[in-house]
Amino acid sequence: MGLFKNYVNQTRKPEGFLGKMMVDGMNGGHAKLADWGMSHLEGIAPAAIVELGCGGGRNAAALLERYSKAKLTALDYSETSVKKTKATNKKEISEGRCTVQRENVASLPFDGAAFDLATAFETVYFWPGLETCFAEVCRVLKPGGTFLICNESDGTDETSLKFEKIIDGMKCYTAEQLTSALMVAGFSEVKTDHHPSKPWITVLATKGKI
């Protein structure tokens, strides 16, 4: 495997020296995308947040700043990402506002209805069995809870589709594919938004109230 291919494959599960370089780059490189995604979170005041696929921890920090009274649990199945997220959110961890765990989204270690908000930035490309993973997210959300997905690729842009061919296990989804999987997984309402000038998409799914 060439160096470039080896490096870009670190987006899936950062490990080793190249993985450390990748998570460092994630915090800056995805900031504008993440902030655009978070701008869609209107009219909610979550007390408990779960950040799925936390990467370098920048988005966990931004969410904790946005929701100053909330507590956040950040998850990733990469030990490199877990370590970086802990370093990025050291103060919030010491204050008891942030917890970071190494876990797999396909089997979340939480009771049902544990969170008000779940977020997934630039990560669902690699989730094993989209509907199964989405069902797990739905399970751990409270009735009326929100699931935010934010992707740099809308599943049709040429650049991302090229990366899909060289990054192992990567699948770029359209807004329609994500919506379908979310509805099958048990969400009651899904809204999507495309960036006006980029192939970015934000998806907001709501768990139905009982």
What's the count of helices (H) and strands (E) in the chain, helices before strands?
A: 9, 7
Residue whose pair of structure tokens reads 């199945």 in the numeric block:
77
Work out how many domains the chain is built from and give that number. Answer: 1
Whole-angstrom distance, CA of residue 115 vs CA of residue 108 = 12
Whole-angstrom distance, CA of residue 58 vs CA of residue 26 = 8
H or E element: which one contains 195? Answer: none
CATH code of the domain in which 163 resides: 3.40.50.150
Tell me what pLDDT residue 120 has: 98
Tell which residue, 182, 90, 163, has the closest CA to residue 125.
163
Instruction: Classify residue 208 by its DSSP letter.
Output: P
Q: Global pTM?
A: 0.91
Tell me what pLDDT residue 4 has: 52
Burial of 92 (0-12, 13-18, 19+ CB in 10 A): buried
Residues spanned by the domain of 126: 3-207
- The type of residue at 87 is A
Query: Residue-wise pLDDT tens for the chain (210 aa)?
Result: 465 555 444 455 555 645 455 666 667 667 999 999 999 999 999 999 999 999 899 999 999 999 999 999 999 989 999 999 999 999 999 999 999 999 999 999 999 999 999 999 999 999 999 999 999 999 999 999 999 999 999 999 988 888 788 777 789 999 999 999 999 999 999 999 999 999 999 999 999 986
Tell me what pLDDT residue 20 has: 57
Tell me what pLDDT residue 165 has: 82
Tell me what pLDDT residue 169 has: 78
